[in-house]
């Protein structure tokens, strides 16, 4: 039979794909009956109903370009529209690489890790608000417990922090996330939650139930949520919650409702959290679940190894798609037994979009991501001609959108927006209110938060109108109030910003009965009956603002 490995010597990914197509054609011309041809081609190409939307963009080859990405290996979209990631092995020193790949498959090694500056970057990369990428290494560094690093899109790496293996933990697998405050948050072994600034100022938050390999999630309520693979009441893993420095176990997996989660949590459009487990459920092949922020868990899908056509064992976390659906991948199952890419609604309607095969990728342990083109990008640990995994894309027909680098802020804050086709942009609006903006390049622009309400951001370009995948929250701010004291019934004028969306006001903890919002910068209220001296708190759809000074209630 025609040898597909002969295609690995061509110079570009596009030429390699064309080479494989040509060899498939040769197979088809000599395979006999039409039915036999179809069966052979389906077997080799892993074709499915959605196979035309799947692309094997790049095949890892070991020393020259990384190898075998495992979980979680998250990737990030940069300001240039390219995708950035890491592999934990491969490269010139076989301890991992950082890479850049264009959406069409042009691949560049940015950094070969070398142990001195960290090794085995399992977690992947996240885009910082400064345009640089940030990540962690499991080993290497000054104390051999791994580190936290920054890398520019050009590949210049700076070590921000070296783990010591003491109270700060170390041997970090979990990737970082960017909090609403601009700091980075993550976890280290054997169960330490931490915060670090872009300048490298490191602080331990506290102890989580046990080791976690998943990224944290900062939900709309401001709290952080995560999963641990083990621990909990049944030693089958947990979901935990962090508010300030308080860490609580929200849910303990028990087997029937899932066990041993590795992928992290995502928040969907309905406000609930969703995730996967690698085991447990009705056939002990993992589940997909929904959990509320108060801890009520529902199993939506039981993955089934006995009837594996839908795929099973989801090590990867989910993607909350811009279309409202959830996307993910399984390690095993599907028509070719090498795993699947699936789509699921928030109600649990599940369908397979692609069946992995050996020639074009197999074993999707890493968590995929959604590019602003609407396509899903991810990696596999196996498959491809060299057998060392691939970078893939899946086009499911989801429309392009814009991605906000920050989803919360006060009026006047500069917000980065990722997308495409920005040259010639005519308007940027926050919930319908025009904003001042600056186009940096065709895939990145900045806009200043205008006065107005919390809502979606729309960018109008010469060719299309693009809407953000998430809501931007305009947080209120109190700059002052007058008078500073008075009896019940006194009219108090509050100044600040983001006040137009006010929902509730309290004085010393007592709710105001009535108030009038004059503008985004001013409102008035009457001191309510029973009011106590204390600070004024204004609650809006974008958050809360507390006065720096207390209002004094007089007799």
- The span from the CA of 4 to the CA of 407, in Å, is 46
For the chain, the C-alpha Rg in angstroms (whole number) is 25
Dump pLDDT digits (tens) for 526-552: 999 999 999 999 999 999 999 999 999
pLDDT at residue number 13: 41
Contacts of 311 (CB under 8 A, 6+ apart): 303, 329, 330, 332, 333, 334, 339, 340, 342, 352
Mean pLDDT, range 110-119, rounded to an integer: 97
Dump pLDDT digits (tens) for 393-420: 999 999 999 999 999 999 999 999 999 9
Q: What is the mean pLDDT of the chain?
A: 91
| Residue of 167, 166, 131, 126 whose CA lies nearest to 148 | 126
Crossing angle for the helix pair 34-45 and 13-29, nearest 10 degrees? 150
Question: Which residue did the predictor score with more confidence, 403 or 12?
Answer: 403
| Upstream peptide bond of 146 is cis (omega within 30 degrees of 0) | no
What does pTM read for this prediction?
Answer: 0.89
Dump pLDDT digits (tens) for 230-254: 999 999 999 999 999 999 999 999 9
- Cβ-contact 496, 545 below 8 angstroms: yes
Full set of structural domains in the chain with CATH: 1-45 (no CATH), 73-189 (2.130.10.10), 213-398 (2.130.10.10), 403-473 (2.60.40.10), 476-553 (2.60.40.10)
As beta bridge partners, residue 418 has 403, 444
As beta bridge partners, residue 208 has none
- The span from the CA of 95 to the CA of 504, in Å, is 54
pLDDT at residue number 193: 98
CB atoms within 10 A of CB 191: 19
| Residue of 519, 523, 524 whose CA lies nearest to 453 | 519
Give percent helix, percent strand, percent coil of the chain, each to the nearest 5. 5, 45, 50
Side-chain half-sphere CA neighbours of 89 within 13 A: 11
| Residue of 48, 35, 155, 54 whose CA lies nearest to 390 | 54
103: tokens are: 């959406």
| Residue of 361, 465, 353, 366 whose CA lies nearest to 72 | 366
As beta bridge partners, residue 504 has 539
- The span from the CA of 100 to the CA of 83, in Å, is 6
Q: Is the pLDDT of residue 46 over 70?
A: no
Least confident of 41-50, 59-68, 180-189, 273-282: 41-50
531: tokens are: 């009011």
- The span from the CA of 478 to the CA of 499, in Å, is 8
Q: Is the pLDDT of residue 26 over 60?
A: no
Question: Which residue did the predictor score with more confidence, 32 or 374?
Answer: 374
Mean pLDDT, range 510-539, rounded to an integer: 96
332: tokens are: 């095993």
- Cβ-contact 249, 270 below 8 angstroms: no
| Residue of 132, 131, 95 whose CA lies nearest to 111 | 95
Residue in the block written with tokens 């990540």: 135
Banded model confidence at residue 475, pLDDT cuts 50, 70, 90: very high
Q: Order the strands of the 133-136 sheet from edge to edge.
A: 125-127, 133-136, 147-151, 157-162
Expressed in angstroms, the distance from the first to the final Cα of the chain is 95
- Cβ-contact 228, 237 below 8 angstroms: yes
- The span from the CA of 473 to the CA of 470, in Å, is 9
Dump pLDDT digits (tens) for 443-469: 999 999 999 889 999 999 999 999 999
23: tokens are: 């060899």
| Residue of 276, 272, 296 whose CA lies nearest to 346 | 272
The DSSP call for residue 449 is P
Q: Is the pLDDT of residue 8 over 50?
A: no
Instruction: Kindly state the greatest CA–CA separation across the chain.
Output: 99
* Secondary structure class of 243 (helix, strand, coil): strand
| Residue of 214, 271, 268 whose CA lies nearest to 237 | 214
Q: Is the pLDDT of residue 36 over 70?
A: no
- The span from the CA of 209 to the CA of 214, in Å, is 13
1: tokens are: 């039979």
- The span from the CA of 70 to the CA of 185, in Å, is 21
Banded model confidence at residue 511, pLDDT cuts 50, 70, 90: very high
Banded model confidence at residue 51, pLDDT cuts 50, 70, 90: very low
Distances (CA, A) of 550 to 161, 484, 513, 530, 544: 40, 8, 19, 16, 16
Q: Is the pLDDT of residue 502 over 70?
A: yes
Distances (CA, A) of 349 to 18, 302, 317, 335: 36, 12, 17, 19
pLDDT at residue number 555: 83
Torsion, Cα 459 464 468 474, to 10 degrees, reads 20
Mean pLDDT, range 328-353, rounded to an integer: 97
Q: Is the pLDDT of residue 10 over 60?
A: no
43-82 burial, b at 16+ Cβ within 10 Å, e below that, comes to: ebbbbbebeebbbbbbbbbbeebbbbbbbbbbbbbbbbbb
pLDDT at residue number 64: 85
């Amino acid at each position: 039979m025609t040898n597909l490995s002969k295609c690995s010597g061509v110079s570009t990914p596009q030429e390699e794909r064309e080479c494989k197509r040509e060899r498939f054609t040769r197979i088809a011309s000599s395979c006999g009956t039409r039915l036999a041809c179809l069966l052979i081609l389906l077997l080799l190409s892993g074709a499915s109903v959605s196979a035309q939307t799947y692309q094997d963009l790049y095949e890892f080859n070991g020393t020259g370009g990384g190898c075998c990405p495992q979980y979680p290996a998250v990737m990030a979209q940069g300001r240039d529209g390219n995708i950035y990631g890491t592999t934990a092995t491969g490269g010139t020193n076989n301890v991992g690489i950082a890479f850049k790949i264009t959406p069409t498959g042009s691949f560049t090694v940015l950094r070969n890790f070398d142990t001195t500056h960290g090794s085995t970057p399992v977690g992947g990369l996240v885009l910082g608000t400064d345009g640089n990428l940030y990540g962690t290494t499991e080993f290497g560094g000054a104390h051999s417990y791994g580190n936290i690093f920054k890398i520019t899109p050009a590949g210049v790496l700076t070590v921000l922090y070296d783990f010591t293996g003491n109270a700060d933990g170390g041997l970090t697998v979990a990737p970082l996330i960017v909090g609403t405050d601009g700091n980075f948050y993550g976890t280290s072994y054997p169960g330490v939650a931490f915060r670090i600034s872009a300048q490298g100022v490191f602080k331990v938050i506290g102890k989580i139930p046990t080791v976690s390999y998943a990224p944290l999630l900062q939900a709309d309520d401001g709290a952080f949520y995560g999963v641990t693979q083990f621990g909990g009441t049944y030693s089958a893993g947990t979901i935990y919650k962090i508010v300030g420095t308080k860490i609580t176990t929200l849910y303990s997996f028990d087997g029937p409702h899932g066990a041993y989660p590795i992928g992290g949590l995502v928040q969907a459009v309905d406000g609930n959290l969703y995730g996967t487990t690698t085991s447990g459920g009705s056939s002990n092949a993992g589940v997909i679940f929904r959990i509320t922020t108060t801890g009520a868990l529902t199993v939506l899908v039981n993955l089934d190894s006995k009837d594996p056509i839908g795929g099973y064992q989801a090590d990867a976390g989910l993607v909350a798609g811009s279309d409202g659906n959830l996307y993910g991948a399984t390690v095993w199952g599907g028509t070719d037994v090498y795993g699947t890419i699936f789509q699921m609604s928030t109600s649990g309607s599940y369908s397979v979009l692609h069946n992995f095969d050996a020639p074009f990728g197999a074993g999707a342990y890493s968590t995929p991501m959604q590019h602003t083109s609407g396509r899903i990008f991810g990696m596999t640990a196996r498959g491809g001609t060299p057998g060392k995994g691939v970078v893939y894309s899946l086009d499911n027909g989801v429309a392009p959108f814009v991605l906000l680098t920050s989803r919360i802020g006060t009026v006047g804050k500069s917000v980065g927006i990722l997308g495409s086709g920005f040259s010639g942009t005519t308007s940027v609006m926050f919930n319908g209110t025009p904003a001042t903006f600056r186009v940096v390049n065709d895939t990145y622009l900045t806009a200043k938060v205008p006065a107005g309400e919390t809502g979606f951001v729309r960018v109008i370009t010469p060719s299309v109108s693009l809407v953000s995948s998430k809501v931007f929250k305009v947080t209120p701010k109190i700059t002052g109030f007058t008078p500073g004291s008075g009896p019940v019934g006194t009219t108090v004028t509050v100044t600040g910003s983001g006040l137009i969306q006010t929902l509730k006001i309290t004085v010393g903890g007592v709710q105001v009965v009535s108030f009038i919002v004059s503008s985004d910068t001013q409102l008035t209220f009457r001191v309510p009956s029973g009011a106590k001296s204390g600070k004024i708190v204004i609650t809006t759809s974008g958050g809360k603002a507390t006065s720096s000074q207390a209002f004094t209630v007089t007799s």
